[in-house]
Amino acid sequence: MSGVLEQIAGVLYEGDDESVCTLVQKALNEGIKPGQVLRNGLLAGMDQVGVDFRAGDLFVPEVLISARAMHAGMDILRPLLSQSDLASSNKIVIGTVQGDLHDIGKNLVGMMLEGGGFEVIDIGIDLPPEKFVDAIKTEHPDIVGMSAMLTTTMQNMKHTIDALENAGVREEVRVIVGGAPVTKEYADEIGADGYAPDAGSAVELARSLVKQKDG
Amino acid sequence: MTQRFNVQPLQPHISVLSEEGVKAIHKATLEILEETGVEMQDPQGRELLLEAGARESDGRLKIPEKLVDEALSSAPSLIPIYDRLGNLAMPLELGNVFFGSGSDTNFTFDLMTGERRRTTTQDVENLARLCDGLDNIDFVMSMGNPSDVPPDDLYVHAFIRMIRGSVKPNVYVTKDRKDMEDIYRIAVAVAGGEDALREKPFFLHYAEPISPLLIPEESLQKIIFCAEKGIPACYPPSPNTGGGGPISLAGAVALGNAECLVGLIMSQLTRRGTPFLYGMNTAAMDMKTAIVSYGSPEWSLGMAAWTDLARFYNLPSWGFGGASDSKLVDAQAGLEATFSIMSAFLSRCTLVHDVGYLEFGSTSSAEMLVIADEIIRMTRFLVNGIAINDKTLALDAIARVRPGGGFLADNHTLENWKWAQWTPKVIDRKLYHSWVEAGSKDMFVRANDVAREVLEKHELLPLQGEVEAVIADVLAERADAHQ
Ligand code: B12
C-alpha cells in the first residue's frame, strides 16, 4: 500500500501538473517501479477522471487539464519504462473517412482515449480507405476508429471496412465507428466491432475490445 | 381632419457592439487576415488571391486590407430573392428579417405516430409544404437528409422535394460540383432560362469554410460556381466557442469575420457584384457533453455582434433562431426558440435559418415549426412597436368613458380590436372547462393538429411539366451512373 501513488492519482485528478511531476519523482526515488507509477498512479487517476466525466460530474476542460498533467508525468516516466510496459499500452489509429471534413468529435475521442492510457495515432480527415489500410500496415494498431458526420460520407465507413478485408488486414484489428449519423444498428450492418455515441463511452468500448483481444 | 398626434413607432432593435467595438473587431480581423493568414486548399482560389495581391508565407495566404475593402465595395447591399413563380419574396437587405427552416437533419418526428425516425424524401416535401403554409416562415431548407435514396444523390432529391413542396425561396446544400450542376439545371428550368434565373434567383446556396482558418477546395469551388452563375451564396464559418473558435465570443466573432470575408473576397474576385450573404455561426460547444449547442445564448449574442458588423459593412446578414437542444418539443424547446427568435428579430439579422430544429440539429419537427411560427408572429408584434396618433391614443374614448366603467363596449374597441391586439393561434387562453372539453391538449398536441391541417388543406402551384421532365432526366442520368 503506497501513499505516494494515491497522492499522484489525487493531484492528477485535480490537474495539478507540477505536483504530479514532483510526486512521480518522489515515487521513483522511493524505489517504486516506473510501470507501477504509471498504472497505479497516473492511469488510476485518469480512470477516476473518466468515470466522473461519464457520470456528468466533470467538464471537458477539466478532463483535458488532468490529461495534460498526465502527459507531464509521462514525460518523466517514458524513458524509464521497460519494453514490456510500453508494449502493454494499446494502440489505436483514428481518422475521419473520405469526403468528410469534420474533425472536432474525432479529436475529442482521441484525446479521451489518450487519457485512458491508449497510444493514439490520429491520421486526419477526408481519408480514402487506402490510408486506413496503410496505417494498419505501418502502425499495427489494436483498434481502428473511424468517424463520419455526414449521411453522404457514412457509407465510406463500409467502403473502408471492405478495403481492409480486400487488403487482408481486417482480422488484425478491431474496428470502431462513431459520429452523429452513425447508430449501433449501422455499425452492426457494416460489420464494425463496436460503436460509441460519445467520447466517454468510446474509451469504455475500446477497453472492452482490447480486453477481449488480450483475454 | 389633421392629426394632432402622429409619431412613428420606434421599432425597437438591439446592438451589442459600440462603434468602438465594431472598429476593434474589424481591426483584429484585418490582423488575422494579414498576419496570421488562412490555409487556402483550393488551387484556383489560391491563384486568384495571389494575383490580386495576397502573399504566401509559411503555407498560409496573407490577405491585405486592400482586398477586403475592394470586396466590400463591390458586393451588393441588397440581394433580392424571388419565389419560384417570379414574385419578389425576400429583399435581403439590412433592416428586413426573414425566417426559415434548417437543413440536413438525420431524424424527424413522424407527424402521425410521434416516432423519431430517419427522414425520407416525402418528409422533406411535407415539411416544405408546411413551411409554404405558415405565414411567418419565409424560406425553406430541407429539414432532413432523406434516407430512402442513395446517399450520393440525397441533396438533389432534397432540392427537388423542396421546390415541389413550396413556392417559397429555398436555401440549399450540395455535396459536390455534380450536385451544383444538376440543381442548377433544374433551377434554370424553373426560372425559364439562365438569364431569368440570374435576374430572379429563387434560392441561395449554403456552404462553409472550416474554422479555424481553413478554406477547403470542396466548399470554395461552390462559392466560385455560384459567382460564375450569379447564384446568391453564403459562406458562414462556424467558430463555435471552444470548438472551431476561441472560447470567448470576441475572438470567435473576429475569427469568423476573417473567414467569412475570405469567402466574400473570393466571390468578388470571381465576379464583381456577385450577391454574397455575410455572416457566421457562433454556437457554444457545451463543455460537459461536447455537443454544439443550438440553444446557446452565445450564438444569439454573437449574432447580434456580427449583425452590428454587417451594418458597418452595409451587407445583409445570415443568422439562426427557433432551434433547440431538447430531444422533444417541451418547455425547453419553447424557451430556447423564443430566446433565439427574439434575439434575431431584435438585432435585425436578415436571414434567420434553423427554425424547427430539435436535438442540436439532429432532428426536425413539424410541431416545432408551427410553434416557432407563432413565436415569430408574437415577436413581430413587439418589434413593430407603438404608433402614436389620434386613433391609437384614443383620447376621445378616454374622454367619454365612465370612470370605472371600462372600454369593452366602446366604439373605439369595436372598431379597432382586430389590429390593436395580437391574436394567438396555437397558444391557449381557454377557460379551464372549455380546455378540457376541447380535449385537454397541450401545446405540442395543438401544434400537431395545426401541422396536419396545413398538410391536408394547403395547396400550391405544382411544378410545370417541363420542369418535371428535366427532373426526370437528371434523376435518370444519376440512376445510370449508379449502374
Ligand atoms: C462544427 C460543424 C461543422 C464544421 C466542422 C469543423 C471541424 N473542424 O470539425 C464545419 C463548418 C466545417 C461543417 C461543415 C459541414 N457540415 Co457540419 N456540423 C458541425 C456541427 C455544428 C457540430 C459538429 C461537432 O463538432 N460537434 C462536437 C463534437 C465533439 O461532437 P461529434 O462530432 O458529434 O463527436 C462526438 C460523437 O459523435 C462521437 N464520435 C465522433 N467520431 C467518433 C469516432 C469514433 C470511432 C467513436 C467511437 C465516436 C465518435 O464522439 C464525439 C465526442 O463526444 C454539427 C451539428 C451538431 N450540433 O452536431 C454539424 C453537422 C454535422 N454538419 C452538417 C453538414 C450538413 C455540414 C455541411 C455539408 C454543411 C454545408 N452546407 O456545407 C459541411 C460538410 C463539410 C464536409 N465535407 O465535411 C450536418 C450533417 C447532416 C448529415 N446527416 O449529413 C450537421 C448534423 C448539422 C445539420 N443538421 O445541418 N460542419
pLDDT digits over B135-145, tens only? 999 999 999 99
Out of A104, A108, A180, the one facing B362 most closely (by C-beta) is A180
- Provide φ and ψ at A38, rounded to 5°: -65, -55
* Single residue among A36, A60, A85 that ends a domain in this structure: A85
Q: Quick one: average pLDDT of B203-222?
A: 96
Whole-angstrom Cα distance, residue B129 to residue B121?
13
What are the residue boundaries of the structural domains of chain B, listed by start?
A: 1-15+78-218+231-240+272-393+424-483, 394-420
CATH of B1-15+78-218+231-240+272-393+424-483, one of 3.50.50.60, 3.20.20.480, 3.90.79.10, 3.40.50.150: 3.20.20.480
CA distances from B424 to A177, B321, B341, B376 (A): 47, 20, 17, 12
Q: How confident is the model at residue A1 (pLDDT cuts 50, 70, 90)?
A: very low
Q: Which residues line ligand 1 (CB under 6 A)?
A: A 99-106, 108-109, 145-147, 149-151, 176-181, 196, 198-199, 202; B 103-106, 145, 173, 206-208, 210, 218-219, 238, 240, 243-244, 285, 290-292, 360-361
Which of the two residues, A90 and B458, has the higher pLDDT score?
A: B458
Out of A59, A61, A152, the one facing B152 most closely (by C-beta) is A152
* Buried-state track B80-102, b at ≥16 Cβ within 10 A, e below 16: bbbbbeeeebbebebeebbbbbb
Q: For residue B285, which atom of ligand 1 is closest to its CA?
A: 27
A149 Cα–ligand 1 center, Å: 5
For chain B, give the number of residues: 483
For chain A, give the number of residues: 215
Asked if A109 contacts A199 with a C-beta cutoff of 8 angstroms, the reply is: yes
Q: Quick one: average pLDDT of A123-129?
A: 96
Total domains in the fold of chain A: 2
Q: Quick one: average pLDDT of B33-51?
A: 96
Give the closest-approach CA distance of B288 to chain A in angstroms: 4
Give the closest-approach CA distance of A181 to chain B in angstroms: 6
Whole-angstrom Cα distance, residue B168 to residue B132?
6
CA A52 to chain CA centroid, nearest Å: 17
3-state secondary structure of B378: helix
Give the domain extent around A152. Answer: 89-214
Chain B interface includes A183 (CB < 8 A):
no
Which residue's alpha carbon is at the smallest distance from atom 79 of ligand 1? B104
Q: Of the given ranges (B2-16, B431-445, B459-473), which has the lowest mean pLDDT?
A: B2-16
Mean pLDDT of chain B: 97
CATH of the domain at A189: 3.40.50.280
Q: How confident is the model at residue A213 (pLDDT cuts 50, 70, 90)?
A: low
Amino acid letter, residue A68? R
Q: How confident is the model at residue A178 (pLDDT cuts 50, 70, 90)?
A: very high
Chain A interface includes B220 (CB < 8 A):
no
Whole-angstrom Cα distance, residue B300 to residue B317?
13
Regarding whether A19 and A77 lie in a shared domain, the answer is yes
Q: Quick one: average pLDDT of B413-434?
A: 96
Out of B145, B216, B287, the one facing A101 most closely (by C-beta) is B216
Q: Give me the pLDDT at residue B1, please.
A: 61
Q: Give me the pLDDT at residue B65, please.
A: 98
Regarding whether A100 and A201 lie in a shared domain, the answer is yes
Regarding whether A108 and A149 lie in a shared domain, the answer is yes
Q: Which of residues 227-266 of B touch A (CB under 8 A)?
A: 243-244
Q: Quick one: average pLDDT of A117-142?
A: 95
Q: How confident is the model at residue A18 (pLDDT cuts 50, 70, 90)?
A: very high
Asked if B475 contacts B154 with a C-beta cutoff of 8 angstroms, the reply is: no
| Neighboring chain B residues of A56 at a CB cutoff of 8 Å | 288
Regarding whether A67 and A24 lie in a shared domain, the answer is yes
Mean pLDDT of chain A: 92
The answer to whether the complex's ipTM is over 0.90 is: no
Out of B141, B217, B292, B325, give the residue to mutate to test ligand 1, the one with the largest number of ligand atoms within 8 Å of its CB: B292
Q: Of the given ranges (A178-182, B202-206, B442-446), which has the lowest mean pLDDT?
A: A178-182
- Output the CA angle B281-B444-B330, nearest 5 degrees: 50
Asked if B17 contacts B305 with a C-beta cutoff of 8 angstroms, the reply is: yes
Spatial neighbors of A75 by CB under 8 A, at least 6 apart, are none
CATH of the domain at A29: 1.10.1240.10
> If you search the block for the grid coordinates 463591390, which residue do you land on?
B74
CA distances from A7 to A4, A44, A54, B42 (A): 5, 11, 23, 52
- Provide φ and ψ at B355, rounded to 5°: -65, 125
Regarding whether A123 and A30 lie in a shared domain, the answer is no
Spatial neighbors of B339 by CB under 8 A, at least 6 apart, are B295, B297, B300
* Single residue among A61, A85, A109 that ends a domain in this structure: A85
* Single residue among A85, A114, A129 that ends a domain in this structure: A85
Regarding whether A109 and A13 lie in a shared domain, the answer is no
- Kindly tell me the sign of the dihedral angle through the C-alpha atoms of B120, B121, B125, B131: positive
